[in-house]
Amino acid sequence: MTSVSIWIISFVSIASVIAQPFKTPELTWAAAGAVVLLLLGLIIPAESRVGMTEEADVYLFLAGMMLLAETARSEKLFDRLAAHATNLAEGSANYLFGLIYLVGNVITAFSSNDATAWLPYAGWLRCAGKD
C-alpha cells in the first residue's frame, strides 16, 4: 500500500504542477507533494536529504532552464518569433506549420520543453488575431 500511496501523491503533484490550479506556481504543488510524503511517513527525511544532495546538479540545471524559459516568455520572445513566422508564411498554413516546427526545434535545442510548448500557442494567438 505504501508504494501505491507514493505513486498517487506523486501523480497528483505532477498533475497539479502541469495544470496549475488556482494559478499557483509549479513549485507550490511539487513542494506540497514532498511535504505530504514526509508527513505521512512514506519517505523519511534522511532519504529526501540524500535525494536532494546527490542530484543537486540536475536540480540546478532544471532550475536554470526553467528560469531561462520564463525569462524568454516574459520578454515576449516567443510572441515575436511567432509573429515573424506568421508574417513570413504570407497566409500559407503549410508554410506556417513548417516555420513553427523549425523554430520549435531550434528552441528545443537550446532550451527546455517549457519554452517549446509556449511557441505554438503564441503562434495560434497571432493567427487568430488575439495577440
24 CB-near residues (< 8 Å, 6+ apart): none
Confidence of residue 35 (pLDDT cuts 50, 70, 90): very high
Average pLDDT score over residue span 104-108: 77
> What amino acid occupies position 102?
L
pLDDT tens-place string over residues 37-88: 999 999 888 887 887 788 888 778 778 877 887 888 889 888 888 888 889 9
Residue 93 in this model has a pLDDT that exceeds 60? yes
Average pLDDT score over residue span 106-120: 63
Output the nine-digit C-alpha cell for 113.
520543453
Say if residue 131 is exposed, middle or buried (CB neighbours under 10 Å; 0-12, 13-18, 19+): middle
